[in-house]
Structures are given as C-alpha cells and as structure tokens.
Structure 1
C-alpha cells in the first residue's frame, strides 16, 4: 500500500510543486485535494493507496492558505484544488500537453467513487506506460499462479486461484486502453504473475502478439475496425490494439471534396475490407454494405470475447472539460482557499463613547460610518471634586456599554453575511446541477451527431459506384509510375492538364526499396506527393514545407549536392504525426527530378 503523504503548510506545498516540476520522479504522483469547508477529501484515499501500491506516490493537500503556494509554483492549467485530483506522469510533458495529466473533479461526496476510480485508472495507466509493472524491484513479492475468471465488475476481472484465494486483473495488466469486458470473460482460464501485496495478476505474458492474432485475416475479408482519429483527408483505424492502419479520403468515399470528419467518429466501430495484409496493411470502407458478411472481431486472448462490437452505438466524442476554475487571476474568479488574514498583535484600541452608529442596524438599513469620538470635555471644578474611584467606575461602565453595542452590531452583520453565504452556496449547487444537465445534453447531441455521421457514410456507400480493383504490375517501377499518373489525372482538372503536364522524371536506385520498407504511409499517398513535386503544386503548398536538404542543421549550412550539380530537396508527406514521413529528391541542373528516398523525419541522409 502506498503511504499517504499529507501537505499541510506552505513549505510542504512548495516542496510538492518542486518535486512535480523536477526530474527526480521515477513513478507517477497522485495529488488529491480537500474542498473548502470540508475536512476529508471526496476521493477514497485508502482505496487509492491500496490499489496503486508502490507504483505511484500519493499526496493529500489539506485546506488552507498553502494551496496558494502550490498553485503559484505550478504551470497555469496544471494546478489542482477544491476537492479535485490529478495524476502527474513521469517526465514533464504534461506541462505542455495538459491531456497527459487530466484533471479529475467531483462536486460532492456522492461523486467521490467516480473520482476515486478515475485516479486509480490514471495512475495504473501511467505506471504501465513507464514500465513499472515490469520493474525488477518487486520481483521478490511475485509468484506464478493460474486460475479461472469468476466475474467482471468495477472494471476489474476477479480470478479464483483455488482454495478461496482471489486476485484481480485491471485492464493495464490484460490489454491497456481496452475495457476489461472486451478482453476477458467469466470462465476463462488464465495464468500469470501474481503481485502478492496488491493481489494483481499480470497475464500479459500469455497474450498472443498482434501478428499471431491477425494471421487469420486475408485480402477481401470484411472485418471490424475501430476509428482511432480523424482528419479532413485521412483517418487512423485499429485492426488490433497494437496495429493502426491509415486510410485516405479515397479509401472512404469517392467524392474528393468530402471531409472525413463529417463521416467518421473517433471510437466508432466500422466494417472495412482488407485490401492488403500485413506488415503493410491496407483497408477500404468503400463498397462495404449490409449485404457483406463480416468476420467477428479478434479475441485478444484464447477463449476471450471479441475486442470490438460493430453493433455497439458510436460513442459521443466528448472531450475532457476542465470543470475546475483556473487559479485566481481576477476578483471575479474563485480562490483555491481564502488567504490567511494576519491580525495585528497590537493591543485593541480603547472603545469610543457609545453613539447611535454603534447600535444594531435594522435589516436593510445601510451601514453608517462611525464618527470619530469627540474630545473629552475639560473637567469643571465640581467634576474634579468627584472621587477617583467613582470616576473609574463611570469610565468602565461606558466602556462596557460601548463593547455591548459593538458586539450587537457585529452580530447583526454576521447574521446578514451568513444569509449571503447560504444564498451563494445554494447558487453554487444550482450551477453545478445546470452544468451537469448541460453536459448530459452535450453528450446526447454528440451521440446523435455520431449516429448521423455513420448514416451519412453508409448512404454514400450505397449510392457510390462500385470500387474498381486497382491494376497490379509485376514491374515495381511501372506500377509506381502508374500511380503517379493516376494521381495526376485524378487531381488535375481537365482544363488545366494542358498547362500543367506531368513531366518526365527519374527513379533513383534506392527509391522503390525505401517505399517498400517505410511503414506508416500508403504508397498512394507517396505517389500523390511525387505528382505534386513534379507539377509544381508542392511549391505552392505551405504544408509540404519544400526546402533544400542541408549538410547540417545550421541555417547557413550548404545544401546537399552531387558531383553532377544536382541539389537534394526535402518535402513533407505528413505533418503533426510521430516520425512524420518525408520525400527526398534530386533536382538536376537541366531541371529533371530524380526521386531519391522516402524517409522518417529524423533521417537526414539524401
């Protein structure tokens, strides 16, 4: 069980911020806060500590002025307070990409169970990404065990190890990123490594590889696939949690003006036809209809359920919304906690002589300024004759009267302030209900939008002409030149073809081999970019980033060139993707283009 570290003062709060923003952490850090006016957090700290074990550090930030110290030391948007929680992964990438450390919020104690589960899942996901489940430091607490799955509940699989000994399997120890009910089922026999303290059973060792699971698919099969992400002209589909296939507009619709974001929804399960099998998978959605017999999705474990369900309704693409306000920057924004007010250590001033302004105000009566006390009159001879003891008693009596009047006035003001606070609390509760209702409405609208996208795509598929099987060439070079010419005929309007012809070009000896070995981009896409280079379209497109390939990263470095005077150029085939693909080509002195290689972003060789 992870120890719960409490943050109760400014120095501890600043130390926590320094830890999060430093480079010394080797495991995720869970930070839970206590809402103002409460003594306990909404989240179940004991459950979090028990389930994350030693895979993450756990901190509880109590209420008080030190929440300001923590917020002021954190990057805007990465703070946490007001009953919320956040898990910070290893590294500092979350300072730039806030989605790496999502804020998890609860409005009240009844939402604490959901908050607890979210924080546990976030911590386990980040621990798995950091490789902590495989760390040798816990080898002494592990043993090999086998058992039968009893049930699936609370996003965990309960396993009977025999003789009443139980264990559980979280998604991270079966297949990260896939709901556990889509991976395992009651009655399955599993074996793996048991972590004795947390009672987790790690069964990843018996999971078939993606290549083993996908070997049953053949070209022409109609299979389920999950939409992972969608751009205007391309989309990524998952055949298997570890295998992503890129589709282009022409693989989805025959209309070159269609925006794929209007046809596909991230998380949706679609039916796709296998055009080419691995390792360079090709899929197409065109021509796939209800009359096609689709294969069942793969089971990620022997005897397990299909990991995708084509009949499931498309999910609503609800993005994470930060419901907690940002740290206070203006008076109108709520504060993490009230600033501690420093009281004066000097002795209280002597009470003034009672005045009407000190009397309790009637409800609704404005506050009147208290006039300064008038100067004490100069005693007359008769007054001077008053015995000192009697004068002291009169003075003390006046002071008592003044104090009682001031106390009554303050009690009246306190009553009004309490009424105001009560009203504000009621407003906050109503705002929270309105926000929850609006969120449900957004989810409903998004779900309806996802259904309409699916219906529109299917309608286009029914009305589209049948897809023509592309020709196949035994000669690789001839086949690639055909793709380039087809791209030119498809994309250049008839009226422009005479003025924008497809010029002759050379193919370098290493080019086709690089096309065959480069993964993550379809050969049709490469042919499209080559056509743009040959016709001059690439020079007019800022997204292609056409420039000379230089001998070094220095801005004044000379361009790469050959003895015959040819200069090497580099053009982008992909942007905003990991290891974005690039095209290298030589521009010869006579203007002829010679294709050199297709490479990943970091490959700077001509």
Structure 2
C-alpha cells in the first residue's frame, strides 16, 4: 500500500491513473486531522491482489492531484474512489463513483473496485498483425461476421478491441468498409471517439432513443458519450404554453427508435431537441463506432426490443418530430397482407442464412483454441453487459438517496425552524460588519442544522472577504435568509453533499475549457447556488485557501462571474 504525501508524488499518481493499467486503483484521502474514514487496511484485505490501494494526504497534495486529473475526478477530505484500469481512455468522473464517508461504507468502495476488474483470456499474441481495410459482406452478431480484403480473402470480424457496451453489429454495414488489426483470419476493429465539430447550431442529425418516461426522453448521439436528457418542452411543441397537454411522450417516440434531432449549441454546450427537426432537411451524418466504419445510425434502422409474442417491426421510417402527434394513412388490407407475407418470408430467409453461417463458423472452430476463445468472448460480453446495467441502477439509486436525504433535511429544517426573517438583526446594531455577519451565520446554523446533526456539521474556521458585507445590502429578508443558509452549507462542509447547490469551480470565462480562477496566494474560487428556478437567481462565490479555510467573497446574480 502506497501513501502519497508530496505534490510531486501526487502529480505522478495522476499520470498513472490516466495511463494504461492492469488493475483498478483505489484512492483513499485523509480527513483534515489525517485520519481515514475508510479503513485502508480493511479495504486492502477485502480486495486482495486484484486492485491497488493508495492513500493520499488532503491539502496541497490533493490540490496537486486535482491539477492533473480531469474535472470532478479527484478526491479530498476523507472521500475515496476506485479508478478502472481503462479510466485514461475515457476519463469521465461518472466512471469512477466518489464515495463520501457520511453516505457510504467501505463495502461499497470494495464493490466498485471488484466490479472494475477485467479478466481476459490468456491468448498468445500473434507474431504479426497489420492494419487493413475490408468490405463487410455478412453480419451475424457478435461472432460470424464476414468481410473481404482487397486481395479477395475472407476474414472474420470480431469485437475483441471494442468496449463491452458497443455492439459489433451496430458498427457494421453490409457493403461498407471497416478498418482494423488483422491477425491471421481475424479482423479486430477499434472504437473511435466521436467528433461533433460538424454539429452546428440548428443542424439536423440522427439519435437513438434510449429511455422514455412521463417527463424525460433520453437520446444517444454515440455510445461513448453520455446520453442527452430532453424535457417535455424539447419533445412536444407548445408544451410551455400549455398546448398539446394530452400528448404523452410515449406517443411521440419509442425506446430503441432512431429519430431526427435538432442540435442546439449554447453556453452550456451541446444539447438536442425534437422540435422543428424537419424531415426535409439534409442531416449531418452521425459519427461511426469504429475507425473507417459507416455511420452507426441510419434512418429506418431501429433497435426495438420485441415483446413476448410480438414480432419486431419490419421496416419503419423515422417520423420527423415536429411537435405534433404523428399521423399516417394505413395501406389497404390486401396490400398490407401481401407486404406482411413478403416480410415474413424474407425474415425467415435471413434467419436461416444467419443460422447456417453461425453453424459454419462453429464447425470451422470446433476443437481449436478459437472455440474456447469464442465461448469466453460470449461469457465476457454477457457479464460486462450485466455489470453495466447493475452499475447504472446503483448510480441511479445513489442519486435518488442523495436527493431524498436533502429533501428530508430541508423538510425538517422548515418544520423545526422559526421564520428566518424574524431573527435578522440590523448592521447598525453592531460595531462592525464582521461581527454582524458572524452573528447571522451562527443564527442560521442554529436553525439550518438539526440537533442530531450539530456535532457532525459544526461551523468551521472561515473568513469574511472585504466585499461580502456590501453584497448583502441589496437583499430583501427572504433573499438574505437563503444566502445565510447557503453560507452555513459552505462553512460546515455540507455543500459537497447537496446536489441543489450545484457546486463547481469558477472559471475565467463561460467556456468549458477556460482556466479556473486562482488567486495569487493559491486560493481557489468556488461557486454555489443560493436560488434556483427564479429570475436572476443568485450565487455565492467563496475562496478555498490552502489548508481548507473558507473566505466568503460575494453574493452575485446568475450572470455575474467575477470572483
């Protein structure tokens, strides 16, 4: 077990986390008193030799680690997380769940690490392999996919180099090209990160419907990027004005459907809408899943899950989402019956051909190492898919628990606390502004934090910036009370556990790649929400000094990004 206690060692650890590793890496940070809420010895004992356990000192050392890792991917203040071996391939914070000692225990951290262990069959690497381009001739699922090289040689296309959540059959199109590493007669394509540079504001592209509820529609532009959550206003035209109230989201789209979507670019980045996704507009081609491959989505190509006793739809055209309920005129019964018979016949032929090809592929591999490798691939793909679904359910459950916990705290505070405006004092009653502010913070803490939580969330050492008092002068009683509750969450450290505070580092501009605001003394500026869903919602800016002391800076309006 290693312990990181210097900024140089922390920087080296950050590069190690982002590099290619064979095992998960569990990183446990110390509390401000150098103790550990997650027992490193117990974690190391339960994990065994399948993962590495590293401890790190909170303070300057964790600051040095944060500068190397992507946003929200570091640890500090007693929290811990497990980084998967391939974290550097897609360094997104949600792939490594941050565990807080107040909300999680060591067993959950151990489960995270064990779920990230990747077991690969031991296969001797061929002496030679080459990067080639082939033309896809037949698609039969995870195995049995055939492509032809320019020399005329047929090869089998496999998913050995693809992540578990990318299906090989989604990446291949009969007659299209595919590139990959050729070893013997096996061609292994590589996944490619999507490039959305051509997706300008207002452009029309294709997206896959991943989830439909009464209030949300989740769309995917590519399996390697997070899904886009669309609200009702983004799916049903006039929803904000109360129009089309009888229209359900399930009337508009179906899970697994490929739809046209309109690209919206703004200050928050890329977003999608199904409103005004005109069917006559030329679409921007979706990105491919593999290098040199075709676009992963095509109009009329859906991924419906057939229900028991129900056949999958034969061929369905994408309905342009214009905000009105789609209507169509069905064909006559005679034509419909004829088309249904033809489709059933074609589907039976395709099923028979796929079965024959699968049997041929199995016969060629029977009794060889390739048969064992195929079986291990299928088992690994199934287990990875189950793990991916279970991880998603666990993360959703964690978010729900955090949200319900916060709602419970706020409900208790509103029930047990008197009206905050009645206890507010005037600055004129105090010899200086600092004494007044500290009194108001103490009063807010007394009502904000329940009796059972006061020992867990005491008011920590904090400072008051030179402009903080003047920024409170324009607030009315209700706004002042909200600001004081936000200050209490900051000075007690609870702010990191409250999703509604939307805590994040302040940047020098509005772009996602702008540098963070850092003062000459090394203090970092943070921004937390005081109000939400209100015009000119206010925010709290504060500095976090080296060593963890907080300095209150200003209360600002939503569009004010000055420190």
TM-score, normalisation: structure 2: 0.36
Q: Which has the larger radius of gyration?
A: 1
TM-score, normalisation: structure 1: 0.34
